[in-house]
């Protein structure tokens, strides 16, 4: 059985012991409701680090919509069983009061890369992510942190904050894991209806087609317009954005010589889906 730790004191004591024994520590921060995407991060950490901690914490500070926080799937027992298949060395699953005790008033706020796209659609979201990730790194004494590329902007925010704050941790960005039909794995996918689940892969198909068209010489604007149209036609309720951006700064980019990323967010069945691919 993998130990499930609830307090900072417990996880610190364990991590300190591991460090004294000469082990490196990899941390895989999650909000639970684990799927193969999370497990691939844990397996990578397992292969690269002496010890692996997966954190499970539904971070209230990164939800700008209270309904979304309430509906966020929670499944600790099933998560622990899945992590047993990796296996990781410990699960850190604190209560909100342990992470944000009374009187907590510090916020880690990242500018620039955190501002457009998700930052604009979800005010305060990245401050919440940056704050909790910084705390989790400190609590677990992690040498490496593992993050999925599915949340590309989040990955850039975490890279930026670790650089800017000189945190002694290496950030490892891992490939998006997809279902057989291309849908990016996400804890939110379980909230789709059966009909919505059938339509959802159109998000990936549409941005892939747009990226191919841009590489073949079509204008960015036209390719993006066609992708949005394909999604609406497939039954998506709303396309929030489809944008071609500089992969590192997330600023608009029309320079094909630099690495670029196409990022999209759209609503289907009352569920907000995001995805991104290199262009
Ligand atoms: O990607 C997530 O699940 C969350 O944003 C993270 C990194 C665990 C912080 O709460």
Using most ligand atoms within 8 A of CB, pick from 27, 28, 29, 40 the residue to mutate for ligand 1: 29
Q: What value does the mean pLDDT take over residues 70-81?
A: 95
Q: What angle do CA 245, 246, 249 make, to 5 degrees?
A: 110
Q: What value does the mean pLDDT take over residues 118-138?
A: 98
Q: What value does the mean pLDDT take over residues 154-159?
A: 98
User: 192-221 pLDDT, tens per residue?
Assistant: 999 999 999 999 999 999 999 999 999 999
Q: Is 54 in the pocket of ligand 1 (CB under 6 A)?
A: no
Average pLDDT over the chain reads 97
What separation in Å is there between the alpha carbon of 244 and the centre of ligand 1?
24
* Domains of the chain and any CATH numbers: 4-174 (3.40.50.620), 187-278 (3.30.1300.10)
What is the pLDDT, as a whole number, of residue 62? 97
What is the pLDDT, as a whole number, of residue 4? 98
What separation in Å is there between the alpha carbon of 92 and the centre of ligand 1?
14
Q: Is 132 in the pocket of ligand 1 (CB under 6 A)?
A: yes
State the SS3 of the chain: CCCEECCHHHHHHHHHHHHHCCCCEEEEEECCCCCHHHHHHHHHHHHHCCEEEEEECCCHHHCCCHHHHHHCCCCHHHHHHHHHCCCCCEEECCCHHHHCCCCCCCCCCCCHHHCCCHHHHCCCHHHHHHHHHHHHHHHHCCCEEEEEHHHHHHHHHHHHHHHHCCCCCEEEEECCCECCCCCECCHHHHHCCHHHHHHCCHHHHHHHHHHHHHHCCCCHHHHHHHHHHHHHHHCCCEEEEEEEEECCCCCECCCCCCCEEEEEEEEECCEEEEEEEEC
Active site includes 233? Answer: no
What is the pLDDT, as a whole number, of residue 24? 98
User: 245-256 pLDDT, tens per residue?
Assistant: 999 999 999 898
What is the pLDDT, as a whole number, of residue 192? 97
Q: What value does the mean pLDDT take over residues 10-30?
A: 98
Q: Is 157 in the pocket of ligand 1 (CB under 6 A)?
A: no
What separation in Å is there between the alpha carbon of 30 and the centre of ligand 1?
5
* Global confidence as pTM: 0.98
């Amino acid at each position: 059985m993998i130990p499930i730790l609830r307090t900072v004191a417990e996880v610190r004591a364990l991590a300190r012991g591991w460090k004294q024994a000469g082990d490196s520590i990899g941390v895989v921060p999650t909000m639970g409701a684990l799927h193969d995407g999370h497990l691939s991060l844990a397996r990578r950490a397992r292969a690269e680090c002496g010890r692996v901690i997966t954190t499970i914490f539904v971070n209230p500070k990164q939800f700008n919509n209270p309904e979304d926080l309430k509906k966020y799937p929670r499944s600790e027992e099933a998560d622990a069983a899945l992590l047993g298949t990796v296996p990781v060395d410990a699960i850190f699953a604190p209560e909100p009061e342990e992470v944000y005790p009374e009187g907590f008033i510090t916020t880690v706020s990242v500018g620039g890369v955190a501002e457009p796209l998700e930052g604009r659609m979800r005010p305060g979201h990245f401050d919440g992510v940056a704050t909790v990730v910084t705390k989790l790194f400190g609590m677990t004494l992690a040498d490496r942190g593992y993050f999925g590329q599915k949340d590309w902007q989040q990955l850039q925010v975490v890279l930026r904050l670790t650089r800017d704050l000189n945190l002694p941790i290496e950030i490892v960005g891992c490939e998006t894991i997809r279902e057989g039909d291309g849908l990016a794995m996400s804890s939110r996918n379980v909230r789709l209806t059966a009909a919505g689940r059938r339509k959802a892969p159109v998000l990936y198909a549409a941005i892939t087609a747009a990226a191919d068209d841009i590489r073949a010489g079509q204008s960015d604007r036209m390719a993006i317009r066609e992708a949005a149209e394909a999604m609406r036609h497939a039954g998506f309720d709303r396309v929030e954005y489809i944008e071609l951006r500089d992969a590192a700064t997330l600023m608009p980019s029309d320079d094909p010589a630099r690495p670029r990323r196409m990022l999209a967010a759209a609503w289907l069945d009352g569920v907000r889906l995001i995805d991104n691919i290199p262009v």
